Amino acid sequence: EDQVTQSPEALRLQEGESSSLNCSYTVSGLRGLFWYRQDPGKGPEFLFTLYSAGEEKEKERLKATLTKKESFLHITAPKPEDSATYLCAVYSEGTSYGKLTFGQGTILTVHP
Amino acid sequence: KAGVTQTPRYLIKTRGQQVTLSCSPISGHRSVSWYQQTPGQGLQFLFEYFSETQRNKGNFPGRFSGRQFSNSRSEMNVSTLELGDSALYLCASSLGGGSDTQYFGPGTRLTVL
């Protein structure tokens, strides 16, 4: 069964203090790794999809990278509006249709 | 392009009642997946529909059911509600399921009293 572990559970940063979130996964043949951002009481907002090891995607202050065992979400010079829960999910060849397996998320708080 | 919409946004029910939640996918998307999100369990997969057929089902009791219509809109139903069913119910749409990116709606917050 697919497993996804995110660390740390919570991260507090000062505005401008860069850091990284980790997503470790154990799957039988990765077909896609997805990063989402979720604000309290709202649905997850799509950020990135990564399909193969070595792939990188960037969007504003965020950069996602993928290896064969884990993915990182790098946040450069974060702002308070980047505060949210960041979720990682995987889809594997051992998974039936439409099912993403999610990690528990990292709660990011950025202080001004 | 309009995003995924879910109605209603909030529901309060009592134990034993049943509830129906609705989801309208992004135009052109034919796959709809449903998830339950709770503080303790996180996001858990309920089921997925494609072209009016349920292709996959998660590990939830038979009280949880769903359907999809010819326009790809989907509904999920929970019968005989229990206190533990209180959660944020999310639907997500994608082009064809599989490894396609899933886009989530805002969710329906269900509270069971």
* Model pLDDT for residues B57-100, shown as the tens digit of each residue: 999 999 999 999 999 999 999 999 999 999 999 999 999 888 89
Spatial contact of B55 and B49, defined as CB atoms under 8 Å apart = yes
Q: What is the mean pLDDT of chain A?
A: 95
Q: Among A99, A101, A102, which would you mutate to test the B interface (most chain B Cβ atoms within 10 Å of its Cβ)?
A: A99
Spatial contact of A109 and A19, defined as CB atoms under 8 Å apart = no
For A43-52, A89-98, B61-70, B103-112, which range has the lowest pLDDT when averaged over its residues? A89-98
Compute how many other C-beta atoms are within 10 angstroms of the C-beta atom of residue A93: 11
What's the alpha-carbon Rg for chain A, to the nearest Å? 14
DSSP 8-state symbol, B27: T
Q: Does B53 touch chain A (CB under 8 A)?
A: no
Residues of chain B found within 8 Å of residue A42, distances taken between Cβ atoms = 106-107
Output the pLDDT for position B69. 97
Residues of chain B found within 8 Å of residue A103, distances taken between Cβ atoms = 42
Q: What is the pLDDT of residues A4-46, one digit of tens each?
A: 999 999 999 999 999 999 999 999 889 999 999 999 999 999 9
Output the pLDDT for position A29. 87
Omega into B8 within 30° of 0, i.e. cis?
yes
Distance in angstroms (rounded) separating the CA atoms of residues B62 and B42: 20
pLDDT beyond 90 at A93:
no
Residues of chain B found within 8 Å of residue A96, distances taken between Cβ atoms = 48, 55-56
- Using CA atoms, how far residue B73 sits from A7, B26, B96, in Å, is 36, 9, 14
